[in-house]
Chain A
Amino acid sequence: MLESFIPALMLAFSPEVILYVAIGVFMGVTLGAIPGLSGDMAIAILLPIVFFLEPAAALGLLTGIYKGGMFGGSISAISFGVPGTPGSAATAIDGYQAKLKGYPNKALMTALYSSVIGDSTSDLVLIFLALPLAIVALTFGPVEFFALYAFSLLLISALTKGKVAKGVAMAALGVLLAMIGRDPMGGTLRLTFGIPELAGGLALIPVLVGIFAVSELIIQLSKAWMARASRIMDDTRQKAESLLGDYDASRDKLTFKEFRSTMKATWIGTTMGTLIGALPGAGSSLAAFISYGLAQRFSRNRDEFGKGSLEGVAAAEAGNSATSGSTLIPLFAFGIPGSATAALFGAAFILMGMTPGPRLIYDHTEVIYALFLILIYANLINLILSQFLLPFYSKIAMIQSRILLPIVCVLAILGTFAAGNSVIDVWVLLFAGLLGVVLRMFNFPLAPLILGFIVAPGAERALRQSLLIGRGDWMHLLSSPIAIGLYTVAAIMILTFTLVLRDKK
């Protein structure tokens, strides 16, 4: 495998790939900074375009957007108290207070440094853990794989939004959407409702982009239509402008002593974010809030938390960003996306002809090694770009989303058509968007649905192979100690997290 390292190095550091990473970081920070838009949405919209790029360039672009989006969310959280992404909600607690006290730049720089430290550490954990786990996964049979799929679906359902039953229902719905079309083992048509165009099944891009991005766009558009979003932005702009009146930029520079004082909080956030990120469904906002709580508990200045503490900003931002690498571990090791972002990366792999799972690293060693290198240096690009562009980013965050929303909608529609060259895909995209809206309005989490849709073909194959081996006996699914262990761990974790979250509430 080491002989692939040099070609991977050449691939990762080719000028084209570096350029795409830089463009991705810029796009990610910009979109993450605008409330209502996010890096994840940008990844979803750009999925069809990725189809036309070289794999390393495409992964570079997506990685850049992902990393930029992680930090971008904190810009509007600190500048206006409006989190650009759900993961940056905890950053807003102290970040906005710091801004009100007259040191927004210190808060933004603390967020940037802790974000990069958390992100880089998480990437290293991914790099050194994915391969050993993939080796273990290669020894799995269909019974173990079905248990693993069920484990991830149950866990992501339980942890995504607190309501376990709604999450489980969404995972089942995702599985059913994936069943539409021809049965891969017997060739018979399923759930096509007599519509011949559905015989080929629902394509990945329209369902993902529709459920994930178009539904959010519809909600944002309706907010813009009701002029609420613009009014909020007008208010925050006025507030921001009034605050700039007595702002002294010379006193608002992060000193090395201040940076060092945040290190403990940063490492608490990094550790928690990396651990929580590796769990399917736990998500960056949970990691950020738990990191914030722990950093407060272990801080000497715990009374300062909530009043503009830089430690609070560092812990929340490191916790948020440290999920970015570890959330990809289940995808690389087992082919199971642990979060919506990982699902989008999984979809990108599938579009480029690469099947996520334990064989991914062996079958596409060069590209995956190049991706590992990109993950590391994208953090540096994020650090350098953001250092220079931070003053402009705060202004970008003031762009009203109503200007960009229609353009993003058109991009989603044309991109989906471009990927499949099919008008049916456009219909599926728009109807998936409507379905996503209804589900969001009734507080159903969407991540389990996306995960269910993506893992369903693999899970079905594993289930039916297990049943064939067990001659139709469902108890055969409990014939392996690993499978029993996975079901037990899933049950324990769901119970633990449900009780912990209930206590927190």
Chain B
Amino acid sequence: MLKPQFTTLLTRQDFYTGLGVISVGTVGLLDIAYGNWRPGPGLGPHAFPQLAYITLICAGVVIMIEAVFGKSDQFPENLRAVLSTGVALLAIGMGMFWAIGKLGFMVSVCITLVGAGFLLTRDPLRHWPSTIVVPVVATGVIWLLFVKLINVPLPRGILF
């Protein structure tokens, strides 16, 4: 028989996860109650979001109850490293897109791929086939695919 474990509750990840889920649902319901929602057919445009927010709150409550009874996932490992990679990818992705308009497709994509190869490989110059040759060939294939085969209207840069 499971017993509630209140003393260690604040150390469990799912306590905070449940709290987060309930918060999103509550803010959504408050927005529907007091925000600028107009009436419409079939109980209005807020009917389905309202149902979704109520579902979120119920799910959050269950997650918290499970956490009270000791059923909780562990705090994620390497969260900071993974999120940093995500933010870096976001910056690199948008940076590459911006550079395509300035430098041109081939140069920007090639620099991005070679740069990523250097970042991800220990001793990148020793592994030059995978850090330099593969990115250059891949750039050519991607250029053929997007520019020549499916004619994507990409922004044009000063180089190529």
Contact = CB atoms under 8 A, between A and B. Distances in A.
A468 interface: yes
Nearest to A165: B62
Contacts, number: 191
B59 A437 contact: no
A459 B48 contact: yes
Given A413-B97, A426-B94, A433 B38 contact: no
A179 interface: yes
Interface residues of A, number: 68
Interface stretch (A133-141, A167-175, A257-265): A167-175
Given A426-B94, A442-B13, A188 B38 contact: yes
A413 B121 CA distance: 22
Contacts of B87: 434
Main secondary structure of the interface of A (DSSP, over half): helix
A219 B49 contact: no
Contacts of B97: 413, 417, 423, 426
Main secondary structure of the interface of B (DSSP, over half): helix
B90 A225 contact: no
Nearest to A452: B52
Interface string A407-418: 101110110011
Nearest to B152: A418
Contacts of A221: 85, 89, 120
Given A168-B59, A176-B49, A185 B82 contact: no
Interface stretch (A61-69, A337-345, A398-406): A398-406
B59 A430 contact: no
Interface of A: 49, 52, 163-166, 168-169, 171-173, 175-176, 179, 183, 185-186, 188, 190-191, 214, 217-219, 221-222, 224-227, 230, 400, 402-403, 405-407, 409-411, 413-414, 417-418, 421, 423, 426-427, 429-431, 433-434, 437-438, 441-443, 456, 459-460, 463-468, 472
B125 interface: no
B90 A222 contact: no
A176 B45 CA distance: 12
A414 B142 contact: yes
Given A175-B52, A418-B150, 7 more contacts: A49-B145, A169-B21, A176-B28, A222-B82, A409-B89, A410-B142, A430-B93
B40 A185 contact: yes
Nearest to B122: A227
B48 A406 contact: no
A224 B43 contact: no
A188 B113 CA distance: 43
A225 B48 contact: no
B159 interface: no
